[in-house]
Amino acid sequence: MEERRTTGGGRRLDEGLDATRRTRLANERTYLAWWRTGLTAFAVSLGVGKVVPVLSDTSEWPYQILGAGFALLGVLCVAYGFFRERAVEAAIERGEFATADARATLGPTAIRIIVITPSASASTVSPSVARASAVANSPRSIAASTARSRKKP
């Protein structure tokens, strides 16, 4: 038996029109995701380029270069999202499918790998800090601190 889709008012739903509407909404969500990613990269660039040098006792220039890399990544994400949204919308109007250019998706991915890999390796914890953290978080230490907190003054 064929199932008929209807709207809330009982009218028959046009499947073609509904598919176009859903595709446009998906395109808008994707566009907003590109913006969200770009804004996150901008926030990371400010944190790495401005805040971390103030809090650390090391040279500022490596952090500023890393921050500039994240800012560039943010610009690329927002720009690609804008152009991709326009291309998909034009393809929807023509009744076609807009494929993503492999170079456009590979570029930001390569930049992300280049920018994040050095920052991930630069933020490794020293062995002495790791040992202190392991001792403080050991079951014996946790049990002792719990017992101390339960004692009444």
- The model's pLDDT over 68-110, given as tens digits with 9 standing for 90+, comes to 989 998 998 899 999 999 999 999 999 888 888 888 778 767 8
Residue 38, pLDDT > 50, answer yes
Q: Is 55 inside a domain boundary? A: yes
More confident residue, 15 or 23: 23
Structural domain of 36: 15-124
Contact 35, 78 (CB under 8 A): yes
Q: Is 117 inside a domain boundary? A: yes
Q: Is 150 inside a domain boundary? A: no
> Which pLDDT value is given to residue 42?
96
More confident residue, 24 or 17: 24
Question: In angstroms, rounded to a whole number, what is the distance separating the alpha carbons of residues 103 and 91?
Answer: 19
For the chain, how many structural domains are there in total?
A: 1
CB atoms within 10 A of CB 86: 13
Q: Is 150 exposed, middle or buried (0-12, 13-18, 19+ CB in 10 A)?
A: exposed
Q: Is 4 inside a domain boundary? A: no
Q: Is 37 inside a domain boundary? A: yes
Residue 2, pLDDT > 50, answer no
Residue 150, pLDDT > 90, answer no
Q: Is 33 inside a domain boundary? A: yes
pTM for the full predicted model = 0.60
| Mean pLDDT in residue range 135-142 | 53
Question: In angstroms, rounded to a whole number, what is the distance separating the alpha carbons of residues 31 and 148?
Answer: 53
Which pLDDT band holds residue 7 (cuts at 50, 70, 90)? low
More confident residue, 87 or 113: 87
Alpha-carbon Rg of the chain, whole angstroms? 26
> For all residues of the chain together, what is the average pLDDT?
77
Q: Is 135 inside a domain boundary? A: no
